[in-house]
Amino acid sequence: MRQASPRNLETRISINPSTSRDSSPWHAWTRFWFSLGDPSTLGFMRICAGLMVLYVHLNYTGTLYAFFGKDAWYNLQMANEYRHNQPWWETPLEGWGQGHADEEDNDKKRELRQDEIEYRERWLGDPRYTLAKGTPTTSIWFHVTDPNWMMAVHIGVLITMALFTIGFCTRITAVLTWLAALSYIQRSWAILFGMDTMMNILLIYLMIGPSGAAFSVDSWLKRRRLAKEGHGLPPGIHPVPAPSVLANFATRLLQVHFCIIYLASATSKLQGSSWWSGTAIWGVAANWEFNPMDVSLYLQFVTFLAKHRLLWEIAMTSGVLFTLFVELGFPFLVWNRRIRPYMIMGSVMLHIGIGTIMGLATFSLMMLIMVMSFIPGSVTRWAVYGAWDWLRGLTPAQIEAEPAVASSGVLTLQKH
Amino acid sequence: MVQNGTTSPATGSWLNPNPWLVLFSSLVLAVIALAVRYIAGEDVVPLRAFLIFGSMLAAIGAVSLRLQSASWDFDERTYSSALVVGAALIGIVNYLAMAPPESDSLRWDSLRLAVRVFVVVGFAGSALILLPRVFQRIVISLLLIFHFAGILSAVTSVAPPNSTAPWISIQMWTRIFRPYLYFTYLTNAYHFYSPDPGPATLLWFYVKFEDGTGEWYRLAEKKDFSTRQEYQRMLAITESTNQVSSQMPPDNVWDAKVLARKNAGNFNKEQIPISRDYALNTQYREPNIQSRDLTASYAQYVANHYHSQKDPDLKVTTVKVYRVIHIIVNGDSLAEGIEPWDPTLYLPYYHGEFDREGNMVDPRSPFLYWLIHTEAKPKPETPARYAGKRPPSKYLDYIDYWQKHAETTGPDPVKD
């Protein structure tokens, strides 16, 4: 029986083959964003992201009141004051001064009212030059402060996130999961770090895409319903989720955003002298609060490096070059199919390094989940079903079921 | 099945209820919530909250069910659009049901914002559904450009070292994208470890009790936390106070500050000299307004939640806060035996003394925002080979001036 592998299972989907060779910018754009896509990778990412999100929010259970309560580290009164009154100062559209009164703008030359005088003393700036006040943020924790209700809401959130992870009513639980995560984020920004940023990005795009179309309770229940209606799969055949435009769209969003993150990170690093001198990695490798220097083996290792200048310089410079190459090169090279696996491997290595040396395990895992968006759905299915069959002691699936072809006949499915 | 409008047995969810029935139930819940609001007023807020939440959930569910099973035919799209409009209108009913009493316009304000966003997205989405495919793609493409332009404005509106951010980025960020990015928490600039990896920031609290004694509470130390995640959160809290103003005081003010600092150090009960190891202008770091507010909030939290190790019933009177920069040990220093946790690598800057309400009790302290350092002196038994240079940590005695400062300065110095 033919063993499944990524190569012989890879399918190509072409839309209107007669026009696929059209190279106009608009068609290139629509091919990039609006082609059909395999939701399998999104489904697997949903599980990984869901587990991470669940872990992050489970961790909040013991510190719920300390971080989000009325008298939290960042107390509610201050949080409300900032989200209602924090000034956003105007940079004039005309002229070269900052905050200089426009001769035509009599409003900026008038006397301050009493409340404006108080505002100026509080925020150390002229309220006549505020473009806006406050931030448009939303959080259940601005309003629910009773400890019992907070815990009840928190448990409800955890249940929702668990349902999202297993892919139950995914279209709804994805929205609720993102809104819930946003609530925690917006209430207490002081406790946030890079991991929260990536978690939010992942949840937004998984909410947009059909992340429940594969490896989910939803898809399993749908197959059961189809089986009852006589459209079931033969035994031993793994299902292939129907491709969709939304799946491709969400995947592209993740890919492009990931590339922006790398490019922004790399170009901002190039402003720093230590990245040019090749010593920046020491700033992370020897940072006591982040790295495992309390582990004696690690301390011995960095001390050994420090006592051998040549080795130290090679290690530091290599780390800097590798980091810059991956972050600068990834956004451009990952689109080439031959180079893509290597860039993905490079990204994986980079984040494993960040996770171990910097102790930022959850941040690294979130980035690894995001980089999965570059893995084709067929590869994800091969890996997941292969592992599933191996765990069950079965031989790998020989043939994957073909997705139902559109009755319009416009789409063709070619198996290679 | 391909989700481009053709029907097949494989379309839709595993759930099969009529979306219109679900929408109707959403409307019923919303109307009941509205009735409860105007009949019972503010007496049954939890009931109203459940009704509104249930209504919004049902509305999202109805839209999800409909869009998963609808085809591309214009009639089908019309029905879908009508249903989405219905969901948006129900959102308006829920918004009215959340209306606060006139005496408290801030009640549930952030959640009303979320519902407003839901309504706007609903109406916009309903129009999008009706558009022909090409126009749909044009509109979505414009939204894509808006989305990524906003993200890029956040990336580029951070000022590079010794320069200003691009004027256009600042204008776009402040005037156009700020509300969208803040609502969705996409404000990050992704400038990780740039321009250079920096040292960690810690917070040391000196907690003074009603019996005149004091204890140190150091934030954050790895050993105090059961999970890495929680430790990382606390590091984010300490880091949030590390926002210092880049502008030094005017010359005449600066000279007066230096003189006051010197005199205070010389004439204090315990001498607290200015450090000779750092340039004078690096020993004074005035935090920006946000950093000061956060410090006050954290001090208030510690004052109200920290318990004495000796007698948990002792009441806290005030808390002194020190923002501590933990300098990363150089490679050559590590090679010469300077330990990463050497006390001289910790640079505590005094951030004030606060009462239980978070009010600063010594705003005129001459030590405020100054470095209160640790001095190292070689022990008598230091080998001669280290003459003229810094010996390893094990040959040093340390004088912690910040300890002396904590115990002997302020409105109510600790009793001996």
- pLDDT tens figures, A355-382: 988 889 999 999 999 999 999 999 999 9
Please, are residues B187 and B181 in contact by the beta-carbon 8 Å criterion? Answer: yes
Residue A415, pLDDT above cutoff 50: no
Can you say how many angstroms the Cα of residue A109 is from the centroid of all Cα atoms in its chain?
Answer: 47
Residue A18's pLDDT band, with cuts at 50, 70 and 90, is very low
Residue A190's pLDDT band, with cuts at 50, 70 and 90, is very high
Handedness of CA A248, A249, A251, A257 (dihedral sign): positive
Q: Within a 10 A sphere around the Cβ of A315, how many other Cβ atoms? A: 18
Q: Does A237 touch chain B (CB under 8 A)?
A: no
**Average confidence (pLDDT) over B53-70:** 91
- Token pair, residue A330, equals 């990834």
Q: Within a 10 A sphere around the Cβ of B176, how many other Cβ atoms? A: 14
- Residue B106: per-residue pLDDT: 57
Please, are residues B66 and B19 in contact by the beta-carbon 8 Å criterion? Answer: yes
Residues B239, B160 share a domain: no
Percent of chain B with pLDDT over 90: 71
Q: Is residue B380 part of a domain?
A: yes
Residues B366, B317 share a domain: yes
pTM (predicted TM-score): 0.90
Terminal Cα-to-Cα distance of chain B (whole angstroms):
80
**How far is it, in rounded angstroms, from Cα B6 to Cα A412?**
14
- Token pair, residue A5, equals 């592998």
Do A290 and B200 count as a contact with CB atoms less than 8 A apart? yes
Residues B228, B157 share a domain: no
Question: Mean pLDDT highest for which of A175-184, B108-117, B226-235?
Answer: A175-184
Residue B320, pLDDT above cutoff 90: yes
pLDDT digits (tens, 9 = 90+) for A57-66: 999 999 999 9
Q: Which residues contact B310 (CB under 8 A, 6 or more apart)?
A: B213, B215
Residue A416, pLDDT above cutoff 50: no
Q: Does A88 touch chain B (CB under 8 A)?
A: yes
For the purposes of burial, counting CB atoms within 10 Å of the CB of A103, is it exposed (0-12), middle (13-18) or buried (19 or more)? exposed
**Average confidence (pLDDT) over B331-350:** 93
| Residues of B whose CB is below 8 A from A74 | 237, 294, 297-298
**Average confidence (pLDDT) over B123-131:** 95
| Residues of B whose CB is below 8 A from A134 | none
**Average confidence (pLDDT) over B299-323:** 95
- Residue A99: per-residue pLDDT: 53
- Residue B6: per-residue pLDDT: 27
**How far is it, in rounded angstroms, from Cα A95 to Cα A102?**
9
Of B182, B197, B300, the CB nearest to A274: B197
DSSP string, A108-164: GTSPPPHHHHHHHHHHTS-GGGEEEES-----GGGT---HHHHHHHHHHHHHHHHHH
Residues B301, B176 share a domain: no
- Residue B368: per-residue pLDDT: 95
Please, are residues B366 and B260 in contact by the beta-carbon 8 Å criterion? Answer: yes
Chain B interface, best mutation among A288, A313, A327, A413, by max B CB count within 10 A: A288
Residues B151, B112 share a domain: no
Please, are residues A384 and A44 in contact by the beta-carbon 8 Å criterion? Answer: yes
Residue B329, pLDDT above cutoff 80: yes
In chain A, residues 8-27 whose CB comes closer than 8 Å to chain B: none
Beta bridge partners of B349: B323, B371
Terminal Cα-to-Cα distance of chain A (whole angstroms):
17
pLDDT digits (tens, 9 = 90+) for A402-414: 444 333 333 333 2
Q: Among residues B301, B306, B206, which one has the least CA distance to residue A65?
A: B301
* Cis peptide leading into residue A292 (ω within 30°): no
Do B237 and A191 count as a contact with CB atoms less than 8 A apart? yes
Q: Which position has the token pair 């960020």?
A: B173
Do B332 and A361 count as a contact with CB atoms less than 8 A apart? no
Question: What are the φ and ψ backbone dihedral angles of B212, each rounded to 5 degrees?
Answer: 90, -5
Residue A109's pLDDT band, with cuts at 50, 70 and 90, is low
Q: Within a 10 A sphere around the Cβ of B199, how many other Cβ atoms? A: 20
Residues B371, B275 share a domain: yes
Of A221, A307, A406, the CB nearest to B335: A307
Question: What are the φ and ψ backbone dihedral angles of B204, each rounded to 5 degrees?
Answer: -115, 125
Residues B247, B111 share a domain: no
| Residues of B whose CB is below 8 A from A32 | none
Q: Which residues contact B303 (CB under 8 A, 6 or more apart)?
A: B207, B316, B318, B319, B354, B355, B356, B358
Residues B118, B24 share a domain: yes
A143-157, A387-401, B218-232: the lowest-pLDDT one: A387-401
Q: Identity (one letter) of the amino acid at A350?
A: L
Of A59, A224, A360, the CB nearest to B230: A59
Please, are residues A110 and A159 in contact by the beta-carbon 8 Å criterion? Answer: no
Q: Among residues B332, B163, B200, B196, which one has the least CA distance to residue A275?
A: B196
Please, are residues B347 and B372 in contact by the beta-carbon 8 Å criterion? Answer: no
Residue of B nearest to A57 (CA): B229
Residues B254, B118 share a domain: no
**Average confidence (pLDDT) over A204-225:** 94
- The overall average pLDDT reported for chain A is 86
Do B137 and A34 count as a contact with CB atoms less than 8 A apart? yes
- Residue A389: per-residue pLDDT: 86
A109-118, A160-169, A382-391, B84-93: the lowest-pLDDT one: A109-118
Do B1 and A404 count as a contact with CB atoms less than 8 A apart? yes
**Average confidence (pLDDT) over B228-240:** 94
In chain A, residues 154-213 whose CB comes closer than 8 Å to chain B: 169, 171-172, 175-176, 179, 182, 185-186, 190-197, 200-201, 204
**How far is it, in rounded angstroms, from Cα A136 to Cα B49?**
21
In chain A, residues 347-386 whose CB comes closer than 8 Å to chain B: 359-362
CA distances from A230 to A221, B13, B68, B256 (A): 14, 17, 21, 88
- Residue A19: per-residue pLDDT: 44
- Residue B105: per-residue pLDDT: 54
Question: What are the φ and ψ backbone dihedral angles of B284, each rounded to 5 degrees?
Answer: -120, 120
**Average confidence (pLDDT) over A173-188:** 97
Residue B215, pLDDT above cutoff 90: yes
- Residue A97: per-residue pLDDT: 65
Query: Which one is predicted more confidently, B114 or A232?
Result: B114
Residues B77, B47 share a domain: yes
Residue B7, pLDDT above cutoff 80: no
Residue A398, pLDDT above cutoff 80: no
**How far is it, in rounded angstroms, from Cα A44 to Cα A32?**
22
Q: Is residue B117 part of a domain?
A: yes
Q: Annotate B25-50 with b (16+ C-beta within 10 A) or e (fewer).
A: bbbebbbbbbebbeeeeeeebeebbe
- Residue B415: per-residue pLDDT: 42
DSSP annotation of B203: E
**How far is it, in rounded angstroms, from Cα B66 to Cα A71?**
44
Residue B10, pLDDT above cutoff 50: no
- Residue B101: per-residue pLDDT: 65
Residue of A nearest to B191 (CA): A265
Q: Identity (one letter) of the amino acid at A341?
A: P
The count of structural domains within chain B is 3
Residue of A nearest to B302 (CA): A73
Chain A interface, best mutation among B155, B188, B233, by max A CB count within 10 A: B233
- Residue B13: per-residue pLDDT: 61
Tell me the CB-side half-sphere exposure of residue A76, using CA atoms within 13 A.
15
Please, are residues B183 and A186 in contact by the beta-carbon 8 Å criterion? Answer: no
Tell me the CB-side half-sphere exposure of residue B226, using CA atoms within 13 A.
5
pLDDT digits (tens, 9 = 90+) for A243-260: 999 999 999 999 999 999
Residue A183's pLDDT band, with cuts at 50, 70 and 90, is very high
Residues B222, B341 share a domain: yes
Q: Within a 10 A sphere around the Cβ of A161, how many other Cβ atoms? A: 25
- Shortest Cα–Cα distance, A74 to chain B (Å): 6
In chain A, residues 250-279 whose CB comes closer than 8 Å to chain B: 256-257, 260-261, 264-265, 268-269, 271-275
Do B184 and A271 count as a contact with CB atoms less than 8 A apart? no
Percent of chain B with pLDDT over 70: 93
- Residue B414: per-residue pLDDT: 46
Strand, coil or helix: what is B232?
Answer: helix
pLDDT digits (tens, 9 = 90+) for A292-345: 878 889 999 999 999 999 999 999 999 999 999 999 999 999 999 999 999 999
Residues B287, B205 share a domain: yes
Residue-range definition of the domain harbouring residue B159: 138-184
Q: Identity (one letter) of the amino acid at A401?
A: A
Residue B103's pLDDT band, with cuts at 50, 70 and 90, is low
ipTM value: 0.92
| Residues of A whose CB is below 8 A from B110 | 83, 137-139, 142-143, 186
- Residue A395: per-residue pLDDT: 60
CA distances from B188 to A197, A332, B154 (A): 7, 22, 6
Please, are residues B322 and B367 in contact by the beta-carbon 8 Å criterion? Answer: no
Q: Is residue B104 part of a domain?
A: yes
